[in-house]
Amino acid sequence: MTTSTIANPNAETKEGVQLKRELGLFSAINLILAVMIGSGIFVSSGSALEHSGSVGMCLIVWTVCGIISLLGALAFAELGTVIPRSGAEYAYFMDSFGPLHKFWGHLPSFIYSWVMIIVIKPAEVAVIILTFSEYLCQPILDLLCVNSADANERLTKTVALVALGIITFINVSSVKFYVKVQNIFGAFKVFACLIVIFGGIYELVKGNTSNLSKGFEGTKYSPKSIALAFYSGLWAYDGWSAVTVVTEEIKRPEVNIPRSIAISVPIVTGLYVFMNMAYMTVLSIPEMTTAKAVAVTFGERVLGPFAFLIPLGVACATFGCALSIQFGVTRVCYVAGQDGLMIKSLSFVHFKRLTPSPAVVSQGVLSFIFIILGDIVQLIEVLSFLIWIFYGMAMVSLLVLRKTKKHAHRPYRVPTWIAVFILLVAIYLSVTPIVTDPSPKYLFALAFILLGVLVYYWIIYKKNTPKSTMRQLTRFVQILFEAVPPDHPVT
């Protein structure tokens, strides 16, 4: 069995069990679309409008946020070609900061994996899959005239757990299976976006221009309002770095990573801008900012008997998004396990399916726990501002690597001003939620990071691990998942 080498995409191939390069350009584009287009644009896209105050300013915000996201993604594209490992920020921190100091050098990578693997990504999957379940179950409950809150919650959680089992099974089975499923759901979610856009065009052709004609009327020019409007928009675009998380499984990454980013992020920008224009054609500002689900309200007004297509579109978007987020975070588990910053068995690969099955199942278990716990949206909000701290550190990594690896082959290179600009944006987005909403809840994020530092010092740096227990765990994982360390010889 011949597979590509992990460390160097141009190196000679070798016999062994490891991840394979299964994602071509189309699949890479679909991966980015899958993570960027979740439920937000269908459910809660009114936040940017509320803070901007006018139709004109809102459209400017969505357009500029798309441009900023593209610049950030292009900076990540350079990092992804210089550091051809999966893991995105994790891998960049290891290569840029790791050699600088014995203790502090590996700490950023560990904290990134600690936060993402233990809380943020499995909790995101849990919330997104619960949203999928709600939009799938609600029409059924309405049809059956079931109004009981308890029955609704039980059915929603049950369906969510089943859906979680399905996405975990898909990601365990094979990368090819994941690609096929993701491509199908990606096409459906883009189709749902186009339904909204063409619905808006239809209303414009009918002469429904009263809302859009207000232009910049009511624009909020205060620095705080403008800052919050851009903050809302940029969070909606999050996910543009998704393809660099799975670098080792991208065919010709030095070509397909920049291309997939250059194609997908403008597509999402166009969809977001025109969908918001469609919403604002039909709905007034108060209606958009107070609607429980903007797209559903839009569909009820415009689509008539075909309004069910919107909840179906939300279900497809959320299922595909959860599937791809889980797919991506398991690759962070994979590289962190290889480097000894997480449990080593998380880097093991199923000897036939060539998927990191222990990592996938562990993420499924964590998401299962978060679904059972219930309302964890606030938990994600508390920790999610850390994502932009990591984005900022990635820009620092890029600048460091320009010095420490200045002779490395760079098939793609962004201007330095882009890295500096994205670093400033990251600082702004990390500080904004704390300044605008100072709350003791952010102490939880700080406490979780400090706990990670203690774990890193005691277990990783000082190597205080029960060796016999870890050997037993490794053997158990190998037997249970039929998994072996990467590059294990094929027999």
- Three-state secondary-structure class, residue 23: strand
pLDDT score for 142: 67
- Residue count of the chain, please give it: 491
Q: 9 versus 149: which is more confidently predicted?
A: 149
Kindly tell me if the per-residue pLDDT of 203 is higher than 60: yes
Residue with tokens 């079931």: 146
310 vs 42: CA distance, rounded Å: 8
Q: What is the pLDDT of residue 287?
A: 87
pLDDT 10s digits, 207-217: 888 888 888 88
Mean of the pLDDT values across residues 5-26?
Answer: 62
- 160 vs 487: CA distance, rounded Å: 36
On whether the CB atoms of residues 70 and 281 are closer than 8 A, the answer is no
pLDDT at 8 over 60: no
What is the pLDDT, as a whole number, of residue 445? 84
Tokens of 484: 């072996």
**Residue 404 predicted with pLDDT over 50:** yes
Per-residue pLDDT at 436 exceeds 90: no
pLDDT of residue 1: 35
Question: Could you count the other beta carbons within 10 Å of the beta carbon of residue 9?
Answer: 18
Mean pLDDT of the chain: 87
Least Cα distance to 34 among 453, 322, 406, 230 occurs for: 322
Q: How many helices (H) and strands (E) does the chain have?
A: 19, 4
Domains of the chain with bracketed CATH: 2-484 (1.20.1740.10)
Centroid of chain to Cα 409: 28
Q: Residue 423, Cβ neighbours under 10 Å: how many?
A: 20
Q: What is the 3-state secondary structure (H, E, C) of 296-319?
A: HHHHHHHCHHHCCHHHHHHHHHHH
Whether the pLDDT of residue 262 is over 50: the answer is: yes
Alpha helix positions (H), 283-413: 285-290, 294-302, 309-339, 357-373, 377-404
Q: State mean pLDDT over 236-256.
A: 90
Percent of the chain at pLDDT > 90 equals 49
- Is residue 427 over pLDDT 70? yes
16-50 pLDDT, tens digit each: 677 888 889 999 999 999 899 887 788 777 888 88
280-333 per-position pLDDT tens digit? 999 988 888 888 788 888 988 898 888 888 888 888 889 999 999 999 999 999
